[in-house]
Amino acid sequence: MFVDHVKISIKGGDGGDGMVAFRREKYVPNGGPAGGDGGRGGNVIFEVEEGLRTLMDFRYKRFFKADRGDHGQSKNMHGRGADDLIIKVPPGTVVMTEEDGPVLADLVEHGQQAIIAKGGRGGRGNSRFTTPQNPAPELSEKGEPGQEIEIVLELKVLADVGLVGFPSVGKSTLLSVVSAAKPKIAAYHFTTIVPNLGMVETTDHRSFAMADLPGLIEGASQGIGLGHQFLRHIERTRVIVHVIDMSGIEGRDPFEDYVTINDELRQYNLRLTERPQLVVANKMDMPDSEENLAEFRKKLPEDVKVFPISALSRKGLNELLFAIADLLEVTEDFLLHEMDEEESDKTVLYKHTSEREGFDVTRDDDGAFVLTGFSLERLFKMTDFSREDSIRRFARQMRGMGVDEALREKGAENGDIVRLLEFEFEFMD
């Protein structure tokens, strides 16, 4: 089964907890805090695996979580950092935060990696908190939670050449005779319901990848027919080969087919009109094909060259393959430049912003004040509430962030309930 669009959840590993420990060994002077730091959590990394062709693996497993780091130990021994979780994806995978949202990664080359969810850092042990005023602190941090995110994976087939055209014009037949691919071929529309990929080698030993894409019909860019699901795959092809049924056996006019398909490509993505395109007149072994080709050429612009072939009898295939190989040699730089432009338009630069340091104060139905905010919740999760020193430090940090002042502005008074995640406490002015 071909799967090219999935939604999954991933989570980086939590950091290990820091430890509260003291060194008390016989004959060892100057004992003191000796709690080690926790190890870092594992990152979730996507890596391109050239042998994969589909996102099928993600159909049955939708949640991926990296391991957490080991906890700190006594004698200032740090916990071991967790191994990264490496997830294999096929070439051409685009990682987004949501449908048509910001692009996190565009993975196209074998071995290319991208960190999608970062693991949390390890919590600090009590030896990190020593001061002249408090040389023996009973204070440590829990590990930082790993980043948790829902993402959308979209596969755009990486092929040098994409075959486009109406259903039953002979795209699958053409692919089957010029490569070792064995697409399904039958005498009805939409026989091809998934992209097929094949490697083609010319007689002068030049090779390229060719994709047979499901047939397009009028309105495909608006979601009509099957083709709209696979228009995204045409974006990654360097050369478009437009296959037209010149026999007219389906009752359609070849020139109208040509105009309709190009309109659909233009409406889906205007850049596709700039992509090099070859026009192939197929089924030239059928009656009336020569007359139809002559009429077709009259309506075309003079600079558009048409390659008459018969995929079934293999007539004219060598000339077509040589033309495709020649065109690929001069369009490589053009497409790389275009992909760089697309990347600069869509890729998000992740950097520190002051908004992540903020917090919000709202009022619940039961009258309790509710605190929310990334930094505040992260601070809460890294606090060990089983130790009095940690609780006092948490209260100082909240005061330093301006939480007390914000609660007063909202009307909080002595004894009011304040809620942060699952934790409730009383406001003391």
**Tokens matching residue 337:** 């430049």
Secondary structure of residue 211 in the 3-state scheme:
strand
Measured CA to CA, the distance from residue 4 to residue 30 in angstroms comes to 63
Is there a contact between 152 and 104 (Cβ–Cβ < 8 Å)?
no
Measured CA to CA, the distance from residue 127 to residue 397 in angstroms comes to 20
Measured CA to CA, the distance from residue 339 to residue 156 in angstroms comes to 13
Of 99-108, 326-335, 352-361, the one with minimum mean pLDDT is 352-361
The larger pLDDT score, comparing residue 100 to residue 314, is at 314
Q: How far is CA 55 from CA 8, 47, 85, 90, 118, in A?
A: 11, 13, 17, 7, 22
Q: Burial of 10 by CB count in 10 Å (0-12 exposed, 13-18 middle, 19+ buried)?
A: buried
The larger pLDDT score, comparing residue 204 to residue 235, is at 204
Mean pLDDT score, 98-116: 84
If pLDDT is split at 50, 70 and 90, which confidence band does 215 have?
low
Measured CA to CA, the distance from residue 308 to residue 289 in angstroms comes to 10
Long-range contacts of 194-198 (CB under 8 A, 24+ apart): 194/2, 194/230, 195/2, 195/4, 195/157, 195/230, 195/233, 196/172, 197/53, 197/157, 197/159
The larger pLDDT score, comparing residue 189 to residue 298, is at 298
Beta bridge partners of 242: 164, 279
Is pLDDT at 38 greater than 90 in this prediction?
yes
User: Which residues define the annotated binding site for Mg(2+)?
Assistant: 172, 192
Q: Are strands 93-96 and 44-48 parallel, antiparallel or unpaired?
A: unpaired
360 half-sphere exposure, CB direction, 13 A CA radius: 9
User: Which residues define the annotated binding site for GTP?
Assistant: 165-172, 190-194, 212-215, 282-285, 310-312
| 141 DSSP assignment | B
Q: Burial of 171 by CB count in 10 Å (0-12 exposed, 13-18 middle, 19+ buried)?
A: buried
Is pLDDT at 211 greater than 70 in this prediction?
yes
The larger pLDDT score, comparing residue 409 to residue 338, is at 409
If pLDDT is split at 50, 70 and 90, which confidence band does 219 have?
low
Is there a contact between 140 and 19 (Cβ–Cβ < 8 Å)?
yes
Mean pLDDT score, 36-61: 88
Q: Considering the chain, what is the average pLDDT of its residues?
A: 80
Return left, alpha or beta for 295; rule: phi > 0 is left, psi -120 to 50 is alpha, else beta.
alpha
Of the candidates 423, 345, 357, 342, the one whose C-alpha atom is nearest the C-alpha of residue 390 is 423
| 367 DSSP assignment | S
Of the candidates 373, 375, 364, the one whose C-alpha atom is nearest the C-alpha of residue 417 is 364
**Tokens matching residue 63:** 């949640």
Mean pLDDT score, 202-207: 84
Per-residue pLDDT of 129-178, as tens digits, reads 888 888 888 889 999 999 999 998 888 777 788 888 888 778 888 888 88
Residue 230 pLDDT: 60
User: Which residues define the annotated binding site?
Assistant: 165-172, 190-194, 212-215, 282-285, 310-312
Is there a contact between 47 and 88 (Cβ–Cβ < 8 Å)?
yes
Convert 283-301 to b/e letters by CB count within 10 Å (16 or more is b): bbebeebeebbeebbeeee
